[in-house]
């Protein structure tokens, strides 16, 4: 692997931006305030921000690469390769593909989740981003419990989230627009969809015990757990007792405060910040951040959102950029137990972004280094001339 030298740059060290140079070797940052030495690859980072790579613990934008239109499928390997390029080009160097395992057939089925997991495992060496599997279990998908338990025991799941969207499904059946979208996603006829929903709802009493068993399996496998869309402090407490210590998208401030009081990592969507509010009409993420009720911003359904959100928070005076960046790098790294990344320091993983911030609210990625490899470069003029290697003296015969 080629050693890399980053010359100059306003580098995020701790809580400060410091003019300094970095030396990278192998997969690690080996020196801060370094000299070039014999590094063969050097990049001029002067007048750029040098920031830790983004960690995305919940991103499902890859679904659009798999099914760009309802009923139009593309091969999973093609979709994942394209999603990797999109993640990297938006500064995401660690990505957890949030894969729904639902009672629905089609895009969010257990079969599709299995295929995605297997494809990620096969293609992982080819990806530029460190790519991991975030299993989003729809709690009414009782038929998949045994298989998911095996996946956990086999070490194939990196995060496990508990999702319960059944109340929303039942409510949306009477909304023609939302109903059509759900039916199209499953590939079922309208009548078959209604029959399936009725069958699934009839087993509601079996759901709590299933959740308990899966949570026990995750604890045994030391897999971190999240609960999704917690609606009340009591709901957050219940999942915390199962060991699901990450609160993902709490739907109101009361629940977010309960999570914060317990020290739980709290996740909101970066698109919520960029757009100025939730597309569902729920909690406004920037308000929660201002109140200290958010520790992680995830890409959710839009890969560019994390990068844009950090700069939006700074421009709006919600947080300084140095603190806003923690929400998309150090914060999610801590929440997921990845202690080797999220900050720029000697001995940490060399996931580094070079960002041009001259245009307000429109940061431009100049370079991305992931695991010590230069994987994205938009300005070749930033490459510095190769270092000269001393020649051995030639002894005259």
The two structure tokens encoding residue 242:
């199962």
pLDDT-based confidence at residue 285 (cuts at 50, 70, 90): very high
Counting beta carbons within 10 angstroms of the beta carbon of residue 72, is it exposed (0 to 12), middle (13 to 18) or buried (19 or more)? Answer: exposed
pLDDT tens readout for residues 230-251: 999 999 999 999 999 999 999 9
Sign, CA dihedral 258-212-214-241, equals positive
* Share of residues in the chain with pLDDT > 70 (%): 97
Pick from 162, 141, 261: nearest CA to 204: 141
Side-chain-side CA neighbours of residue 138 (13 Å): 22
Q: Which of 87-91, 132-136, 159-163, 168-172 comes out lowest in average pLDDT?
A: 168-172
Cα–Cα distances in Å, from 302 out to 247, 306, 339, 340? 20, 8, 25, 25
pLDDT of residue 176: 83
pLDDT (0 to 100) of residue 167: 76
Q: Which CATH class is domain 4-52+345-382?
A: mainly beta
What pLDDT sits at residue 388?
56
Reading the block at residue 133, the tokens are 């599997």
* Token pair 């720029």: residue: 344
Q: Contact, 62 vs 133, CB < 8 A?
A: no
CATH topology of domain 54-335: TIM Barrel (3.20.20)
Confidence of residue 387 (pLDDT cuts 50, 70, 90): low
Query: How far apart, in whole angstroms, are the C-alpha atoms of residue 93 and residue 333?
Result: 11
pLDDT tens per residue, range 361-378 = 999 999 999 999 999 999
Report DSSP state, residue 54: E
Give the predicted TM-score (pTM) of the model.
0.92
Of 36-45, 93-102, 168-177, 204-213, which gets the smallest average pLDDT? 168-177
Q: How many Å apart are CA 155 and CA 217, to the nearest integer?
A: 11
107 pLDDT more than 90? no
How confident is the model at residue 392, as a pLDDT? Answer: 43
**What are the Cα distances from residue 319, in Å, to 41, 263, 294?**
35, 20, 12
First-last CA distance in the chain: 37
Contacts of residue 140, defined as CB under 8 A and 6 or more positions apart, other chains included, come to 103, 164, 166, 200, 201, 203, 204, 207
Residue with tokens 């030391």: 222
Residue 84 has pLDDT above 70, yes or no: yes
Domain residue extents for the chain: 4-52+345-382, 54-335
Look at 101-105, 142-146, 257-261, 336-340 and tell me which has the smallest mean pLDDT: 101-105
């Amino acid at each position: 692997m080629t050693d890399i030298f980053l010359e100059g740059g306003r580098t995020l060290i701790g809580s400060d931006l410091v003019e300094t140079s970095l030396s990278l070797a192998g997969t690690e940052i080996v020196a801060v305030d370094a000299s070039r030495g014999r590094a063969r690859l050097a990049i001029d980072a002067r007048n750029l921000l040098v920031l830790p790579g983004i960690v995305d613990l919940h991103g499902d934008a890859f679904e659009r690469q798999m099914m760009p239109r309802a009923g139009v499928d593309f091969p999973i390997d093609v979709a994942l390769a394209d999603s990797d390029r999109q993640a990297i080009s938006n500064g995401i160097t660690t990505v957890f593909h949030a894969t729904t395992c639902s009672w629905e057939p089609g895009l969010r089925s257990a079969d599709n989740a299995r295929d995605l997991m297997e494809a990620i495992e096969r293609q992982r060496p080819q990806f530029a981003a460190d790519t991991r599997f975030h299993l989003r279990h729809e709690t009414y998908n009782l038929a998949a419990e045994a298989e998911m338990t095996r996946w956990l025991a086999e070490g194939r799941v990196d995060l496990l989230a508990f999702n319960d969207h059944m109340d929303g499904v039942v409510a949306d059946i009477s909304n023609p627009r939302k109903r059509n979208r759900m039916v199209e996603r499953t590939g079922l006829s309208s009548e078959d969809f209604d029959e399936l929903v009725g069958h699934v709802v009839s087993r509601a009493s079996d759901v709590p015990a299933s959740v308990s068993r899966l949570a026990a399996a995750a604890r045994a496998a030391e897999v971190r757990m999240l609960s999704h869309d917690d609606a009340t402090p009591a709901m957050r407490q219940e999942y915390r007792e199962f060991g699901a210590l990450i609160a993902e998208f709490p739907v109101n401030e009361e629940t977010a405060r309960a999570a914060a009081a317990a020290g739980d990592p709290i996740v909101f969507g970066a698109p919520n910040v960029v757009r100025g509010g939730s597309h569902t009409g729920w909690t406004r993420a920037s308000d929660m951040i201002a109140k200290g009720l958010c520790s992680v911003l995830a890409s959710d359904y839009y890969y560019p959102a994390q990068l844009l959100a950090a700069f939006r928070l700074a421009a709006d005076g919600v947080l300084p950029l140095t603190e806003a960046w923690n929400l998309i790098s150090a914060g999610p790294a801590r929440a997921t137990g990845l202690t080797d990344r999220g900050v720029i320091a000697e001995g940490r993983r060399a996931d580094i972004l070079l960002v041009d911030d001259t245009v307000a609210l429109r940061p431009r990625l100049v370079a991305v280094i992931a695991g010590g490899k230069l994987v994205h470069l938009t300005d070749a003029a930033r490459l510095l001339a190769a270092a000269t290697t001393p020649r051995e003296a030639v002894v005259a015969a």
